[in-house]
């Protein structure tokens, strides 16, 4: 197969939503259709101890939430699909934001009863900012929920999207009979059985035919006809270009748990979703069809296999072919590295690959060379943009609870921070270590992983910090900056990269500092 054909047949997308909207369940059902798994694990059920295929960290199994982004790949009808299943919980939003730099399109999952929730709003705004194409999947139709039109209005207003339904529910909750697939012009009948090929699909291209009445009953058929007429009147017709430019969002209805409406979503997705897109670097825009390889690290995961203490850097390939045992330039270190066993993923299963193409995600074994945002190329010096660290919202001192294990603790913190789980700041005044996180749940994850993966114990001590800001002086040698460093010395720290950070104790003191030192800029992200 030609290089350009390999690129065209790839689809790399992320699944985003508020926690509990059914994102991980949807991922599993997509894998089920791809023939990648034979049986889905119930994430919440304690009776089935299998756990979801994509949640492989122990803490995720205990809590029934996804903590880290997992990468899953499968083939479906000649298309190579790479899914990045992201955490929905807001405490892990930073991992999700970074993952969105590696996807070409997104599926947004919305719970039919709860509608648009806070975390969905935040994540969709990031996608809108980057013009990422989005498909909306309204989930859990077998439960009582909001009216379809009410939901579509809510999506338009709260998420600022322009929607076009490509399927429409027939009833809901107890009266749920199935879905009319506007995209394929057929009716899917719901039987409430979640096994694979169970739904009955009846081709009905002419809605006025009596076949519709026979299939779903006269009153349901009449309601459906009225609703579809409304859909046609209110919403624009589907336009693939507008969707790919992020200006129009198709909507599907279904029930992931019952495996209903998922095939329709997948069939439409592989037809309309974009293949790998160009990406901007600090010197130019790089196109996927270019011969020279480039890629960037968007995630690092330590100890995927606790027995081997391994550490994997996840690299999204932007252009060219990535080949095994070929030396590539690590642009930040300016040194060549080669990889003898690059991995492709399927949840817990990894396999070594010889060649990967744009859009693919490869896992590279890392001994500490990589940090998030690093770029690999065939020789050209460039750096991909847009993978910042965000200013944390929670701060605590970290203390060693077992002096005999100081080395393990130091190593554990070092590796977990490289993963982007949280950020480490070292106070200039006394060298104490402060951990800053986006959400409070991160502290539990760090404590748990330090103990179970590194054999180190830690305790925390609260620290009153309102915001961490990266300091950007216009002239590091001027008197104003020297005065700032003297006066604020007890609030200054260095991050892991050695950048100076100001830990403001209140919004008032931050404002006062900005007013007092106008030549110094304060940034809320590390990329400025």
**Annotated binding-site members:** 17-24, 85-89, 139-142
Helix (H) / strand (E) containing 353? none
Are 460 and 396 within 8 A, CB to CB? yes
Calculate the alpha carbon distances from 83 to 4, 20, 75, 423 in Å: 21, 18, 11, 27
Q: Which residues on adjacent β-strands are paired with residue 434? A: 397, 425
3-state SS string over 401-469?
CCHHHHHHHHHHHHHHHHCCCCEEEEECCCCCEEEEECCCHHHHHHHHHHHHHHCCCEEEEECCCCEEE
CB atoms inside a 10 Å sphere around CB 496: 16
3-state SS string over 71-109?
EEEEEECCEEEEEEECCCCHHHHHHHHHHCCCCCEEEEE
β strands within 91-176, DSSP E: 105-111, 134-139, 163-165, 167-170
Binding-site residue set for GTP: 17-24, 85-89, 139-142
Are 268 and 183 within 8 A, CB to CB? yes
Are 253 and 167 within 8 A, CB to CB? yes
**3-state secondary structure (DSSP) of residue 137:** strand
- What DSSP state is assigned to residue 192? S
Question: In degrees, to the nearest 5, what angle opens at C-alpha 60 toward C-alphas 344 and 143?
Answer: 100
Look at the block and give the residue holding tokens 């290089």: 3
Counted residue by residue, the chain has a size of: 528
What percent of the chain is helix, strand and coil (3-state, nearest 5)?
A: 30, 30, 40
**Sheet of strand 186-189, all strands in order from the earlier edge strand to the far edge:** 167-170, 178-181, 186-189, 200-203
User: Which residue from 198, 199, 156, 203 is spatially nearest to 183, judged by alpha carbons?
Assistant: 203
Look at the block and give the residue holding tokens 């960037």: 296
User: Which residue from 181, 167, 1 is spatially nearest to 75, judged by alpha carbons?
Assistant: 1
At a CB cut-off of 8 Å and minimum separation 6, what does 430 contact?
none
CA pseudo-torsion sign 187, 192, 194, 197: negative
Q: How far apart are CA 434 and CA 413, in angstroms?
A: 11
Buried b (16+ CB within 10 A) or exposed e, 208-235: eeeebeebbeeebbeebeebeeebeeeb
**3-state secondary structure (DSSP) of residue 519:** coil
């Amino acid at each position: 197969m030609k290089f350009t054909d390999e690129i065209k047949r790839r689809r790399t997308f992320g699944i985003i939503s508020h926690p509990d909207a059914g994102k991980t369940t949807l991922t599993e059902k997509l894998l089920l259709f791809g023939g990648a798994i034979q049986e889905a694990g119930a994430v919440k059920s304690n009776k089935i101890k299998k756990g979801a295929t994509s949640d492989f960290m122990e803490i995720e199994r205990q809590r029934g939430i996804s903590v880290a982004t997992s990468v899953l790949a499968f083939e479906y009808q000649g298309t190579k699909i790479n899914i990045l299943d992201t955490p929905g919980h807001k405490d892990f939003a930073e991992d999700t934001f970074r993952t969105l730099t590696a996807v070409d399109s997104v599926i947004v999952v919305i719970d039919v009863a709860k509608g648009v929730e806070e975390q969905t709003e935040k994540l969709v705004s990031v996608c809108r900012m980057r013009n990422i194409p989005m498909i909306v999947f309204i989930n859990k139709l077998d439960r009582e929920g909001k009216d379809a039109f009410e939901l579509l209005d809510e999506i338009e207003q709260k998420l600022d999207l322009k929607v076009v339904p490509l399927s429409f529910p027939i009833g809901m909750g107890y009266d749920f009979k199935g879905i009319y697939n506007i995209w394929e012009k057929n009716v899917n009948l719901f039987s409430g059985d979640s096994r694979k090929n169970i739904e009955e699909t009846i081709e009905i291209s002419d809605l006025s035919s009596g076949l519709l009445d026979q299939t779903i009953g006269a009153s349901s058929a009449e309601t459906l006809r009225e609703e579809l007429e409304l859909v046609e009147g209110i919403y624009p017709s589907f336009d693939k270009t507008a969707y790919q430019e992020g200006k129009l969002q198709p909507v599907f209805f279904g029930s992931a748990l019952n495996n209903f409406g998922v095939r329709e979503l997948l069939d439409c997705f592989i037809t309309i979703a974009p293949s790998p897109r160009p990406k901007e670097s600090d010197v130019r825009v790089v196109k996927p069809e270019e011969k020279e390889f480039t890629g960037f690290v968007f995630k690092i995961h330590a100890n995927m296999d606790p027995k081997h203490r391994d550490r994997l850097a996840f690299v999204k390939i932007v252009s060219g072919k990535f080949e095994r045992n070929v030396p590539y330039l690590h642009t930040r270190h300016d040194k060549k590295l080669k990889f003898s066993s690059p991995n492709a993923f399927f949840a817990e299963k990894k396999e070594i690959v010889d060649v990967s193409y744009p859009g693919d995600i490869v896992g590279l074994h890392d001994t500490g060379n990589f940090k998030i945002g690093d770029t690999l190329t065939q020789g050209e010096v460039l750096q991909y943009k847009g993978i910042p660290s965000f200013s944390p919202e929670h701060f605590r001192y970290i203390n060693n609870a077992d002096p005999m294990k100081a080395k393990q603790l130091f190593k554990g913190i070092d590796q977990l921070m490289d993963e982007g789980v949280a950020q480490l700041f070292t106070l200039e005044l006394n060298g104490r270590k402060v951990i800053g996180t986006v959400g409070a749940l991160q502290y539990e994850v760090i404590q748990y992983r330090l103990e179970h993966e590194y054999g180190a114990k830690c305790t925390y001590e609260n620290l009153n910090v309102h915001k961490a800001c990266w300091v950007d002086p216009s002239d590091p040698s001027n008197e104003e900056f020297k005065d700032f460093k003297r006066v604020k010395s007890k609030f200054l720290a260095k991050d892991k990269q050695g950048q100076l950070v100001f830990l403001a104790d209140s919004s008032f003191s931050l404002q006062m500092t900005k007013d007092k030192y106008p030549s110094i800029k304060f940034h809320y992200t590390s990329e400025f």
